[in-house]
Structure 1
């Protein structure tokens, strides 16, 4: 945890979904390998696909197909999304500590929202599998607005629906686009280091206000 001084608690915490609340990498990786297997191509290992999971279908397919992805992007993304939707919650689970974190936020009367770049159809299919997330009323997906993260508009949209000014909100995510969006939305940004971060990522350059290695460290930023 990079911030030592205790801070005033937020009025709301907004979370990314993949790599922050849910460990979706196993099912995303399985969808990628389904597409590859159908074309008799080499499969991708968990060690390879997990750091890419926050980059969605495009990031995963680009890794597996290289330059060919640009030529076949619509076809490959359609095949990937079909495979993922068919097995969307087989291995996906909450990260350790997320359930307790959400309960603590509820007890402290801190509002919660989800802001993800995942398409709305997939978000709506996935979230109900996890009762702790299904009660979250404000969910902004990647296609809710004409723009997605790193544009700050989805975060501001969520804050508006919560009825809380952006400067009183925190945004927690595991990707550079999350921190960029949060900064431009004038929110306190927290990097979830336990999420999908590559060894090549220079996370110190992203400019997060704080970093956590476990979900429950979030509450300790403002608690004794």
Structure 2
């Protein structure tokens, strides 16, 4: 099915624009190694990467995570910030997609649950994002996704009605936030989706298996 061009496109960051799993997993393993605990394989941590520090640490530490949440999260974030872009790269096709959006004069925003300090450190590492002026982080507002407010705030800054925006993400919280914001939602199936997830019931308006497929959804 083809759809009319949106007036703005909003993207999640981890698992949608950037493949951050290698550096997130490395940070997790540095925390584990410091305590002489078994490391977590890429096959294990990659599907969890969209769930951030809490999801990764909860997987590795189980019930102990809740008892040591602040301590472990602090250690993880320090390890991650120290090597935030060592192996992280845009997914193949992201640069072309953003270039095409720019050529069409369609404004772009990033709406992520990543803390501002890390987002501000990471995004400038990639020239593909240089023209993106609106970046909303997980602590920009008092609420984060799946609350729709961060998406609505981005739309306001872009001066585009939310109903004329598309939101692309790889997690259930992304689709929920987009739907609640009355945006057209697109699930990035190439992102961090685990074997136990059920993306077919999340209610996305469309799904893509590679970033460039977004362009194929539009009737010019």
Q: Does TM, normalized by the shorter one, top 0.5?
A: yes
Distance 2:81 2:37 in 1: 21
- Per the alignment, residue 92 of structure 1 pairs with 88
- Per the alignment, residue 159 of structure 1 pairs with 155
- Per the alignment, residue 134 of structure 1 pairs with 130
Find the partner of 1:202 among 198, 204, 209.
198
Distance 1:43 1:146 in 2: 34
Q: Establish whether residue 14 from structure 1 lines up as the match of residue 48 from structure 2.
A: no
User: What SS class does the counterpart of residue 68 from structure 2 fall into?
Assistant: helix
Report how far residue 133 of structure 1 moved: 1.1
- Per the alignment, residue 30 of structure 1 pairs with 26
Q: CA RMSD in A?
A: 0.6
- Per the alignment, residue 118 of structure 2 pairs with 122
Could you tell me which runs of 5 or more consecutive residues in structure 1 were left unpaired when the two chains were aligned.
none
Q: How does 1:103-114 map to 2 (within 5 A)?
A: 103-114=99-110
Regions of 4+ moved over 4 Å: none
Encode CA deviations 1:60-82: one digit per residue, 9 max, x unaligned: 00000000000000000000000
Distance 2:80 2:140 in 1: 20
Report how far residue 134 of structure 1 moved: 2.8
Could you tell me which runs of 5 or more consecutive residues in structure 2 were left unpaired when the two chains were aligned.
none
Q: Establish whether residue 64 from structure 1 lines up as the match of residue 78 from structure 2.
A: no
Distance 1:152 1:128 in 2: 25
Q: How many residues align?
A: 220
Q: Establish whether residue 188 from structure 1 lines up as the match of residue 200 from structure 2.
A: no
Distance 1:195 1:169 in 2: 21
- Per the alignment, residue 52 of structure 1 pairs with 48
Distance 1:70 1:134 in 2: 38
TM-score by length of 1: 0.97
TM-score by length of 2: 0.99
User: What SS class does the counterpart of residue 10 from structure 2 fall into?
Assistant: strand
Report how far residue 109 of structure 1 moved: 1.0
